[in-house]
């Protein structure tokens, strides 16, 4: 008779109160890749709208070696706390492990909350597999690098950090653990999945915690391994791969080789949203750009962040506004639309000791500079794939977060408080509303080819919206937003009629 395997439960809470995310649970799959399946039975459960996943997690945890959650800052914390409370009622002795970006930054707070017994910091694959073995074999956790834990007496112990490893040391992701069809999303009518081909980032922008967690290390999955995963995706009928690396276009030689090999494989796949630093990307030669296009890449993504040079310098972006403009022009030559990301409300040294009136002047300047930069990038063409403008929110673990706290942002006081969004004192609701107008109304309606693209479903109002959106952009005019208000009212009505809820970031 075979020995029954012990169970390891991995779960991923939903990212926001009203929205689910059905992109592949890549972090948990990577962890699972290092767990010995001969010894352990792995249950991987991610939040989904059509089943009682919380009850499932509680049920599976009953006789588990441990139950582990992947956590990013924000709402996932509140949901994980709720799930752990339910588990504890039924299985008070099952060890609870938390890992991911938030807990890597706040191991002490996480353990003090009482909702986690062990925290894995940074890269999780090897650390978590060692934790599982230690728990199963009832060995001490003392000395295991990269973790913090509460010992038998309730004392919090922080073990030394773990060396960041080459991601190629880890086995392929065990996709057989999930029902793959559940993670296929619709992208412009194509069957799409998300993919991450690297970890870390060599840069250190001051608003990002990547450098704090991964110490400016960057490691990329080899082209062989990426292509094996992509072949598997193609076999599953995937047509589009959404690349979500923090920085995919780092090494030109690797990108060039990757594209050549992808072309040679003739997979019926397109890829999209691969991210790169503008300056590095600009230095890629003509051959690489052509290969990127030829290999089925439909668009590329950049962090432009600001139209103000002083702000770009302040956040250590190592980028000039001219380079953003040149980059988008260059991508245009290769017929590669660019998804550009912009932040508004970035606090700079001018905010320190300034009155709200002075801050408003800085924010107006930032807004105007972004519009001018957008005109330079897209003015004539409006041929963007997407433009994303976001209000800066102080996510923790970096210099800009510390500065935001210095100038009035109230830092959350404990783990659960990190689950709630706090007000940004210098950024008014009126400014947030203007961002929404850009994002949901002006950008989508002003796009090149909008009328042709939507001609099938065109109603006269769409035509009017298209022209008012273009005029608003052209003249930088955002007053009397009757068209926008009408658009909102119609959207809300449609949502009510179709029974959909607005996402909570809208």
∠473-479-482 over CA atoms, to 5°?
A: 95
Q: Which is nearer to ligand B12, 164 or 450 (CB)?
A: 164
User: Which of ligand SF4, ligand B12, none sits in contact with 277, Cβ below 5 to 8 A by type?
Assistant: ligand SF4
Stretch that binds ligand B12, among 63-71, 220-228, 258-266, 482-490 (CB under 6 A): 63-71
Q: Are 111 and 119 in contact (CB under 8 A)?
A: yes
Q: Which is nearer to ligand B12, 26 or 190 (CB)?
A: 26
442 binds ligand B12 (CB under 6 A): no
Which of these, 485, 438, 496, lies nearest to 461 by C-alpha position?
485
Tell whether residue 120 is a contact of ligand B12 (CB under 6 A).
Answer: yes
The separation between CA 160 and the C-alpha centre of its own chain, rounded to angstroms, equals: 28
Which residues, 128 to 157, sit near ligand B12 by CB under 6 A? Answer: 128
Which residues of the chain form contacts with ligand SF4 (CB under 6 A)? 201, 203-205, 208, 210-211, 246-247, 277, 303
* 145 backbone dihedrals φ, ψ, rounded to 5°: -65, 150
By CB under 6 A, residue 109 contacts ligand B12: no
Q: How far is the CB of 72 from ligand B12 (least distance, A)?
A: 3
DSSP H stretches of helix in 62-172? 75-90, 101-105, 107-112, 125-136
Of 117 and 483, which CB lies nearer to ligand B12 in the complex structure? 117
Nearest to 262 by CA among 300, 301, 297, 219: 297
Q: Is 23 in the site for ligand B12 (CB under 6 A)?
A: yes
Strand partners, 190: 187
Q: Which residues contact 178 (CB under 8 A, 6 or more apart)?
A: 24, 25, 29, 44
Determine the Cα–Cα distance for residues 424 and 240; give it in Å rounded to an integer.
37
Size of the site for ligand B12 (CB under 6 A): 37
CA angle 225, 227, 231 (to 5 degrees): 120
Comparing CA positions, the residue from 422, 361, 362, 427 lying closest to residue 390 is 427
Q: How far is the CB of 200 from ligand SF4 (least distance, A)?
A: 8
Binding track, positions 390-429, relative to ligand B12; x by CB under 6 A: x----x----------------------------------
Please select the residue that binds ligand B12; options are 110, 148, 209, 298, rule is CB under 6 A: 209
Using the contact rule CB under 6 A, the part of the chain among 21-29, 35-43, 184-192, 408-416 near ligand B12 is 21-29
Residue 76 binds ligand B12 (CB under 6 A)? yes
427 and 360 Cβ atoms separated by less than 8 Å:
no
Asked whether position 8 contacts ligand B12 by CB under 6 A, the answer is no
Q: Is 16 an interacting residue with respect to ligand B12 (CB under 6 A)?
A: yes
- Given ligand SF4, ligand B12, none, residue 247, with its beta carbon under 5 to 8 Å by kind, binds ligand SF4
267 binds, among ligand SF4, ligand B12, none (CB under 5 to 8 A by kind): none
Instruction: Characterize the bridge pairing of strands 198-200 and 190-195.
Output: unpaired
Give the count of beta carbons closer than 10 Å to the beta carbon of residue 459: 10
In the complex, the smallest distance separating the C-beta of residue 303 from ligand SF4, rounded to whole angstroms, is 5
The 3-state DSSP class for residue 388 equals strand
- Nearest-approach distance from CB 395 to ligand B12, in angstroms: 5
Q: Which stretch binds ligand B12 (CB under 6 A): 23-31, 32-40, 428-436, 463-471?
A: 23-31
Indicate which of ligand SF4, ligand B12, none lies near residue 205 (CB less than 5 to 8 Å, by partner kind): ligand SF4
311 sits near ligand B12 (criterion: CB under 6 A): no
d(CA 351, CA 408): 10
Smallest CA-to-CA distance from 203 within 398, 375, 377 is with: 398
From the CB of residue 39, how many other CB atoms can be counted at a distance below 10 Å? 15
The reply to whether 107 sits near ligand B12 by the rule CB under 6 A is: no
Q: Three-class SS of residue 237?
A: coil
- 102 scored as a contact of ligand B12 (CB under 6 A): yes
Residues near ligand B12, by CB under 6 A:
12, 15-16, 21, 23, 26-27, 30-31, 68-70, 72-76, 97, 99-102, 120, 123-125, 128, 194, 196, 208-210, 244, 246, 390, 395, 505
């Amino acid at each position: 008779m075979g020995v029954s395997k012990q169970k390891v439960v991995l779960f991923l809470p939903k990212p926001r109160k009203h929205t689910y995310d059905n992109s592949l649970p890549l972090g948990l799959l990577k962890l699972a890749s290092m767990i010995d399946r001969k010894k352990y039975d792995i249950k991987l459960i991610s939040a989904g709208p059509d089943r009682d996943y919380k009850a499932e997690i509680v049920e599976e945890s009953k006789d588990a070696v441990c139950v582990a959650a992947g956590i990013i800052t924000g709402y996932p914390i509140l949901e994980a706390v709720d799930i752990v409370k339910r588990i504890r009622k039924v299985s008070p002795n099952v060890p609870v492990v938390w890992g991911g970006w938030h807990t890597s930054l706040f191991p002490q707070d996480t353990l003090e909350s009482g909702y986690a017994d062990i925290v894995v910091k940074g890269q999780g694959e090897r650390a978590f597999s060692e934790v599982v073995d230690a728990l199963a074999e009832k060995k001490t956790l003392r000395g295991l690098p990269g973790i913090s834990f509460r010992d038998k007496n309730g004392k919090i112990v922080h073990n030394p950090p773990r060396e960041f490893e080459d991601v190629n040391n880890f086995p392929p992701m065990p996709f057989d653990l999930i029902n793959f069809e559940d993670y296929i999303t619709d992208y412009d009518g194509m069957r799409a999945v998300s993919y991450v081909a690297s970890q870390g980032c060599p840069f250190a922008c001051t608003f990002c915690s990547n450098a704090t967690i991964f110490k400016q290390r960057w490691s990329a999955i080899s082209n062989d391994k990426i292509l094996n995963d992509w072949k598997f995706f193609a076999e599953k009928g995937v047509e589009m791969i959404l690349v979500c690396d923090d920085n995919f276009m780092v090494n030109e030689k690797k990108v060039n080789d990757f594209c050549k090999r992808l072309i040679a494989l003739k997979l019926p796949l397109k890829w999209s949203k691969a991210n790169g630093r503008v300056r590095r990307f600009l230095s890629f030669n003509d051959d690489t750009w052509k290969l990127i296009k030829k290999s089925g890449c439909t668009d590329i993504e950049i962090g432009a962040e600001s139209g103000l040079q002083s702000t770009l310098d302040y956040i250590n972006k190592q980028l000039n506004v001219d380079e953003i403009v040149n980059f988008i022009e260059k991508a245009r030559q290769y017929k590669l639309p660019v998804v550009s990301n912009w932040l508004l409300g970035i606090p700079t040294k001018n905010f320190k000791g300034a009155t709200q009136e002075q801050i408003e002047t800085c924010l107006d300047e930032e807004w105007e500079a972004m519009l001018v930069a957008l005109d330079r990038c897209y003015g004539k063409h409006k041929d963007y794939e997407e433009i994303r403008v976001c209000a800066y929110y102080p996510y923790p673990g970096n210099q800009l977060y510390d500065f935001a706290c210095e100038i009035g942002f109230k830092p959350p006081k404990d783990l659960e408080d990190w689950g709630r969004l706090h007000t940004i004192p210098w950024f008014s609701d009126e400014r947030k509303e203007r961002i929404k107008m850009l994002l949901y109304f002006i950008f989508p309606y002003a796009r090149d080819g909008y009328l042709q693209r939507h001609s099938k479903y065109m109603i006269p109002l769409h035509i009017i919206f298209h022209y008012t959106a273009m005029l608003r952009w052209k003249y930088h005019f955002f007053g009397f937003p009757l068209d926008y208000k009408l658009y909102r009212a119609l959207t809300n009505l449609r949502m009510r009629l179709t029974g959909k809820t607005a996402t909570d970031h809208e």
